[in-house]
């Protein structure tokens, strides 16, 4: 029996290693299950949040003054940034495209090409991303700080509905103002294109507008304008959701603002991709 002793000694070690590996597998399974459960919980919270917003939007006690204040904050306070962005966007597109068109003797197509690019894609998407950075982070930080300082709980105690006063007004203001900001950016982009065309050429404003709008159709403008309402709603929903559901610590304010910008920008790009596919199917 002595020669079998080493084998007998190894058997408990193998048994312990097997138990240890099974324990690690069970821990990984539990962790993955918890992650899946947290994800489903977050999805359910988002749908409940959207349901509350829709419910409070159509109530009689609508906070109209706060809605106008948010329109001023979102729209008017963002005009300087959109002015610079829209002008530079049209100017850069013109400067970058002119040499390539000049090789083929198609410089007269430059205004139409830039106008179509701006109105269909560049204007709405870049303006929405700029607004996601400024407006989304502002909403997340503002509501997050109110959550940390317990101002939202104080509103509930004083019989003020925080969803109606804080969230609905911001979401509707973003949904309304971002399309107007996109139109403003498109107009400035076309003006910037005219300025860029006159850097190395001489084109009158009347001739430039005739060449630019000759290539624009209804299908170029309307779908692009409609999807800007979706961009505004997405930015407003993400910013208010992240801020309203921020944690208790002071660092949660920065986390809410940062995650609002990242998620809003990602959802804007995804919404744009879906809108482009829908428009393509309608055209065909």
Q: DSSP for 249-283?
A: STHHHHHHHHHHHHHHHHHHHHHHHHHHHHHHHHH
Closest CA to 175 of 151, 139, 143: 139
Closest CA to 177 of 54, 66, 76, 264: 76
Answer whether 162's CB lies under 8 Å from 155's CB.
yes
How far apart are the C-alpha atoms of 257 and 264, rounded to whole Å?
11
> What is the value of pTM for the model shown?
0.83
pLDDT of residue 278: 86
How far apart are the C-alpha atoms of 238 and 53, rounded to whole Å?
12
pLDDT of residue 281: 80
Report the 10 Å Cβ neighbour count for 13.
9
pLDDT of residue 1: 46
Report the 10 Å Cβ neighbour count for 207.
14
pLDDT of residue 176: 94
How far apart are the C-alpha atoms of 112 and 267, rounded to whole Å?
29
How far apart are the C-alpha atoms of 218 and 123, rounded to whole Å?
16
From first to last of its 284 residues, the chain has per-residue pLDDT tens of 444 455 455 455 545 555 555 566 566 666 666 666 666 777 788 888 888 888 888 877 888 899 999 999 999 989 999 999 999 999 999 988 888 888 887 788 888 888 988 998 899 999 999 999 999 999 999 998 888 888 888 888 887 888 888 999 999 999 999 999 999 999 999 999 998 888 877 888 888 888 888 888 888 888 889 999 999 999 999 999 999 888 777 788 888 889 999 999 999 999 999 998 888 787 65
Report the 10 Å Cβ neighbour count for 217.
9
The helix/strand count (H/E) of the chain reads as 12, 0
Closest CA to 119 of 160, 151, 81, 90: 90
How far apart are the C-alpha atoms of 162 and 235, rounded to whole Å?
19
Residue 154 CA, distance from chain mean position: 30
pLDDT of residue 14: 47
Alpha helix stretches (DSSP H) within 120-217: 123-131, 137-148, 151-157, 162, 169-197, 205-213
């Amino acid at each position: 029996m002595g020669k079998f002793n080493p084998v007998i000694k190894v058997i408990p070690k193998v048994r312990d290693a097997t138990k240890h590996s099974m324990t690690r597998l069970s821990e990984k399974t539990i962790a993955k299950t918890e992650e899946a459960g947290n994800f489903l919980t977050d999805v359910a919270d988002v749908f409940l949040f959207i349901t509350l917003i829709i419910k409070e939007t159509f109530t009689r006690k609508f906070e109209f003054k706060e809605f106008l204040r948010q329109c001023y904050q979102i729209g008017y306070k963002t005009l300087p940034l959109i002015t610079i962005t829209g002008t530079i966007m049209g100017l850069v597109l013109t400067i970058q495209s002119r040499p390539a068109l000049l090789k083929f003797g198609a410089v007269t197509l430059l205004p139409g090409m830039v106008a179509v690019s701006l109105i269909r894609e560049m204007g709405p998407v870049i303006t929405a991303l700029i607004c996601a950075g400024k407006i989304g982070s502002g909403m997340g930080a503002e509501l997050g700080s109110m959550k940390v300082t317990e101002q939202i709980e104080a509103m509930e105690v004083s019989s003020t509905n925080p969803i109606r006063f804080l969230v609905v007004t911001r979401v509707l203001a973003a949904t309304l103002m971002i399309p107007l900001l996109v139109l403003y950016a498109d107009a400035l982009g076309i003006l910037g294109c005219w300025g860029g065309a006159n850097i190395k050429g001489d084109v009158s404003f009347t001739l430039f507008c005739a060449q630019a709008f000759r290539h624009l159709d209804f299908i170029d403008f309307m779908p692009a304008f409609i999807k800007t309402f979706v961009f505004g709603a997405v930015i407003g929903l993400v910013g208010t959701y992240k801020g309203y559901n921020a944690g208790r610590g002071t660092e949660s304010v920065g986390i809410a603002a940062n995650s609002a910008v990242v998620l809003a920008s990602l959802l804007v790009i995804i919404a744009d991709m879906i809108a482009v596919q829908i428009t393509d199917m309608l055209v065909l």
